[in-house]
Structure 1
Amino acid sequence: MAGGGTKKANAGGDTKKANAGGKKKEVKKETGLGLTNKKDENFGEWYSEVVVNGEMIEYYDISGCYILRPWTTSIWETLHEFFDAEIKKMKVKNCYFPLFVSSTVLEKEKDHIEGFAPEVAWVTRSGKSELEVPIAIRPTSETVMYPYYSKWIRGHRDLPLKLNQWCNVVRWEFSNPTPFIRSREFLWQEGHTAFATKEEADEELALSPLHNSSSLSSHYQSSSSAFLDDHFLYVLMALNHRFHVFQFQYSAVLQILELYRRIYEEFLAIPVIKGKKSEAEKFAGGLYTTSVEAFIPNTGRGVQGATSHCLGQNFAKMFEINFENEKGEKAMVWQNSWAYSTRTIGVMVMVHGDDKGLVLPPKVASLQVIVVPVPYKDADTQGIFDACTATVDALNEAGIRADTDFRDNYSPGWKYSHWEMKGVPLRIEIGPKDLANNQVRAVRRDNSAKIDIPRESLVEQVKELLGNIHQNLFDLAKQKRDACVEIVKTWDEFEAALDKKKLILAPWCDEEEVEKDVKTRTKERLVPGGGGGAAKTLCSPFDQPELPEGAREIGQEKNGYSVLCFGKASKEVDLLGEELLVIKFCYHFLHSFLCPSFEWANEIGPGLGRISDFLFFGKESSKNHTGMRH
């Protein structure tokens, strides 16, 4: 039986089955469930209301820390179960390392941990005594795990070592925490793998585009048929020396990244963009970073959903993770790391929620169908309740998560609002008319559509409806995101699109100085009241859009572009926060649109290198978590 109402309206939490006899039951006075803020008018306050009234979280007495209620943990468990099963197919094993890190070990990874330094929480006292050596609470686990990789890995027979842990991490230094999105403590998984050769590491991630472009093209099913043609390879080969990392360890990163895409798209019904971070935004100490990026249309902000990193041998050098290979020679391991967190749940709420509350995708909803009796005076109340029970039994037997709401102290209308607030995908109503016609009435949470279903086809139609709800949520989110894409041709258009919170398509060269310049120029034009804002990079997407008609001719006009317009973003920003406006770039578009010969790119400005791909930019957020990844 379904549980009680929201906290402010819960009348004890007890539910009772209606008595037989058809007598109309007395309904107690109810508390309204409506939200006081609208999503389009006050997004931040709306979000805070939804996650509390929808019984996702409860605020704790320490800022930035939240109680995750069962409605949330059931979603996390579903994602956990899927991902855990998939990585076990890859022979990844789960483990658990301590929460605490000694300051000595943390210092060993000084360059990597520098970005985390302001966020590290320290234990300095035990009782009334000061600790001789402060102990840090892990912000991420490289320094915790890798000293023991060095201990455990001695010879080639000890490899590969593939470990994952499901744990919590703490990142303390930031203001304005947001449930799920920017928490001081959050749950995540982090995988850390080590291999004897770069080729073995490749097998974990995916095929390198330089080694097997056809397989990569098939894997990603790019929207552009020319994505991996000779033009793409020419562009890729023309990048500066730092892009040599694409030649190895690419496949493992992308295999994991594909699992993250599936979490968002197949479970949470959220379209994401897979891509590679700029050199300035990659994981500190890694060779390169790939990510999946989501978009919140109401705010024009992007959210980094998950990341997968190619670490190469940098950490192996740092922690002396050496082994004796088959030839008896000393060698260093090749490493990858990857993670996602409970941020996924916050993105889901932001993308799908509406002015009635949560909207849960069926695959992650702990309750997919709620059955509500609608008795009237002099109706066969017991018959209606029996029909509700039979309906739930039939659905449960078919593997559909269903329950009844037999509470007698709330009216059917109040129950409708309650379960809409909690985002249950499908509501089934059974009243006297439905009983007489041997049917049920289904009401969809995503679009409020009402469908009368004959009892003989109940299970089949409910399964179909749940599938349709997921697809509709995904399609609607994708439609809203795609409607925000805007191609710019000048710097003025770039700035105007930034102000309009658009996904802007513009060319890019992966130069940190150029990236800094764009951030500086856009930050200088901050407009009171929220307009303007510093641009920042998100990712260079793998999938490519179609070229606009007539774009090639415009691309030949050298004076129509400037260094500031094409290829600028911020250097010292993370991409984990909710306050991002993304701008989309692509390899093929650059080659065909701007500079087919690449000579034009060199004429833009001295010392800036070649314009070489397209990249996401975004409005700079307030300070967020940095580093690995979630």
Structure 2
Amino acid sequence: MAPPHAKSSGKQAGKALVVPLNNGISVTKEANFSQWYQEVVTKSQASTFFDVSHRLFPFPGSAYTDQLFSKASSMHIWNTIRAWFQTRIEQMGVEETSFPMFLSAKSLEKEKEHVEGFAPELAWVTKAGDKDLEVPVAVRPTSEAVMYPYYAKWIRSHRDLPFRLNQWNSVVRWEAKQTTPFLRAREFMWQEGHTAHLTEQLAEKEVLEILELYAGVYEQLLAVPVVRGKKTENEKFAGGYWTSTCEGFIPATGRGIQGATSHALGQNFSKMFDITVEDPNKKGEKIFVWQNSWGLSTRVIGVMVMIHGDNNGLVLPPRVSKFQVVIIPVGLTAKTSNEVRENLAKQIQDLAGGLKENGVRTEVDNREGYTPGFKFADWEMKGVPLRLEFGPKDAANSVVTYSRRDTGLKGTIPLAEVAKEVPVLLEKIQQDMYDKANEYFTSHRLTLNDWAEVIPALDARNVVLIPFCGEPSCEERIKDTTKSDEHRELGPDGKPQPSMGMKSLCIPFDQPSGIVQGETKCLNPECGGFAKSWVMFGRSY
């Protein structure tokens, strides 16, 4: 519950904000989402773009920008996620590892079907110094080809199972398209887990346990709602058995976005790499192990920015923000005596100390030569969840003035209650941010039984649940027939971008009622087949 004496600042959630001239963002989220996003992540210092020569670009829209350099704020978010996730997978018995980043052409040849999808994005090392390599090596786009030959050596008995390794590393995928901070970069950070199990049932259990942890990263840490489900055959992991996924939603564009995936690989890779154990139930017979792989990348940060950010910059959930509270001295003028300044400075340090003792990550902005207004805008841009203002008048009234970053709501807290009330308020901010995003996602996830309503629903920035047969050819046809000429958003170059066709996002585990097997038709009017399930479709990133 919010502390007493709360009053509105006029910046309530859901209303379009006028961009202040001094916040450094040249476009609104509503007018040009793509450019707004790129400006927010760079001007808030969440990331910086470099070309391959590490020359800093003045604007991130260049087609030649490549490496993404994450600043302290985004690295704190990633490390918070890492610590949260690592603790939980260690409890499951997953061990941390580190494998080489280079792959030989021979190892890649072994898994043609899997690598085929990555082939256009493979980066090859062809020179060492000024000499050509006799055998070029690829930089890993993912690590199956480098890890699984060792799994075949290390896993000798069913007693070695389950075999579970995870590594935190970077991978390279040489994107031909324009790069986008966090969402699409040629090099990005992630974790990749690779495990082996004796039976299909044990492997499946782990796939879903990991998926729930990924959902926890989004919902518990980033205040981002996701839909849990299974990918269609068209969208599953290449070479895998089946893929589970967390799917998010970007309100500003109405597009879905894949959050994280946990793959049941079946026995496909164990057969490629001859990873076998003796069948404990049939002495002398060998069985191929059942494998999983699962990954979560720094894309999570981009999803968080897109959903929560506004026209003043980042809006960070308290649980992942490097600083949860910033304290800014106010009300000081040239006439303020040294004694008043010193007393105020001591009270502010006491305030900060009390908050830190209660586990609140707190920063005091004592920069000289900057007005309070400038500092307000600066910390708003960086997304700090809660601003505390403290000046001579506040001291006289024994209160602290607060301002919430997510809603702009302002109020006061009794000075003696700050250390106790602020943690409560931060948890309320965290929950309110999730509730707002969840309400929007829920209201823009439409269940449809009439094909004529599909394109209008997409153009109104929704995703849709429709009865679907699951056939890959039908899915391709749906993608083609749902393209729209309506221009829905501007690109970084300021030119309108046409609307894409919708693709399947997932088969939600939480299925609405209404489909009768063998009776309910696939909603695609060109299909004629029977629907197997409700499938969530949408335009997507």
Matches within 5 A, 1:88-237: 88-201=90-203
1:389 aligns with 2:343: no
Question: Deviations for 1:420-441, whole angstroms, at most 9, x for unmatched residues?
Answer: 1100001111111111122211
Query: What is the distance in 1 between the residues matched to 2:527 and 2:188?
Result: 42
What secondary structure, in the 3-state scheme, does the structure 2 residue paired with 1:365 have? Answer: coil
Normalising to structure 2: TM-score of the pair? Answer: 0.88
Q: Which residue of 2 aligns with 1:613?
A: 533
Q: 1:82 to 1:603 in 2, by over 3 A?
A: closer
**CA contact under 8 A between 2:386 and 2:426: conserved in structure 1?**
yes
**CA contact under 8 A between 1:370 and 1:403: conserved in structure 2?**
yes
**CA contact under 8 A between 2:219 and 2:225: conserved in structure 1?**
yes
Correspondence for 1:476 among 427, 436, 447: 436
Runs (5+) with no aligned partner, structure 1: 1-30, 202-248, 544-585, 622-630
Deviation at 1:522, TM superposition (A): 2.5
What secondary structure, in the 3-state scheme, does the structure 2 residue paired with 1:164 have? Answer: strand
Q: 1:75 to 1:620 in 2, by over 3 A?
A: closer
**CA contact under 8 A between 2:257 and 2:540: conserved in structure 1?**
no
**CA contact under 8 A between 2:249 and 2:255: conserved in structure 1?**
yes
Deviation at 1:152, TM superposition (A): 0.7
Correspondence for 2:513 among 568, 589, 597: 589
Deviation at 1:490, TM superposition (A): 2.5
Deviation at 1:526, TM superposition (A): 4.1
Q: 1:350 to 1:600 in 2, by over 3 A?
A: closer
Q: Which residue of 1 aligns with 2:28?
A: 38
Correspondence for 1:295 among 249, 264, 283: 249
**CA contact under 8 A between 1:64 and 1:184: conserved in structure 2?**
yes
Q: Which residue of 2 aligns with 1:334?
A: 290
Normalising to structure 1: TM-score of the pair? Answer: 0.76
Question: Deviations for 1:473-502, whole angstroms, at most 9, x for unmatched residues?
Answer: 111111222232333333221122222221
- Work out the number of aligned pairs and report it: 495
Matched letter for residue 354 of structure 1:
D
**CA contact under 8 A between 1:367 and 1:403: conserved in structure 2?**
yes
**CA contact under 8 A between 1:167 and 1:187: conserved in structure 2?**
yes
Matches within 5 A, 1:390-469: 390-469=350-429
Query: What is the distance in 2 between the residues matched to 1:391 and 1:602?
Result: 62
What secondary structure, in the 3-state scheme, does the structure 1 residue paired with 2:262 have? Answer: strand
Question: Deviations for 1:108-167, whole angstroms, at most 9, x for unmatched residues?
Answer: 110111010000000011122221111000001111111110011111222221000000
Matched letter for residue 390 of structure 2:
I
Deviation at 1:403, TM superposition (A): 1.5
Identity %: 47
1:311 aligns with 2:271: no
**Greater share of strand:** 2
Query: What is the distance in 1 between the residues matched to 2:271 and 2:432?
Result: 49
Q: Which residue of 2 aligns with 1:57?
A: 47
Query: What is the distance in 2 between the residues matched to 1:363 and 1:597?
Result: 44
How large is the RMSD of aligned CA atoms in angstroms?
A: 2.0
Deviation at 1:609, TM superposition (A): 4.8
Query: What is the distance in 2 between the residues matched to 1:606 and 1:396?
Result: 62
Matched letter for residue 38 of structure 1:
T
Query: What is the distance in 1 between the residues matched to 2:522 and 2:228?
Result: 29
**CA contact under 8 A between 2:103 and 2:137: conserved in structure 1?**
yes
Query: What is the distance in 1 between the residues matched to 2:284 and 2:250?
Result: 54
Matched letter for residue 341 of structure 1:
S
Q: 1:471 to 1:620 in 2, by over 3 A?
A: closer
Query: What is the distance in 1 between the residues matched to 2:30 and 2:420?
Result: 36
Q: 1:174 to 1:488 in 2, by over 3 A?
A: same
Deviation at 1:197, TM superposition (A): 2.3
1:373 aligns with 2:329: yes
Question: Deviations for 1:33-56, whole angstroms, at most 9, x for unmatched residues?
Answer: 342111111111111111111111
Deviation at 1:458, TM superposition (A): 1.1
Q: Which residue of 2 aligns with 1:259?
A: 213
What secondary structure, in the 3-state scheme, does the structure 2 residue paired with 1:493 have? Answer: helix
Q: 1:503 to 1:604 in 2, by over 3 A?
A: closer
**CA contact under 8 A between 2:504 and 2:536: conserved in structure 1?**
yes
Correspondence for 2:318 among 362, 375, 384: 362
Matched letter for residue 265 of structure 2:
L
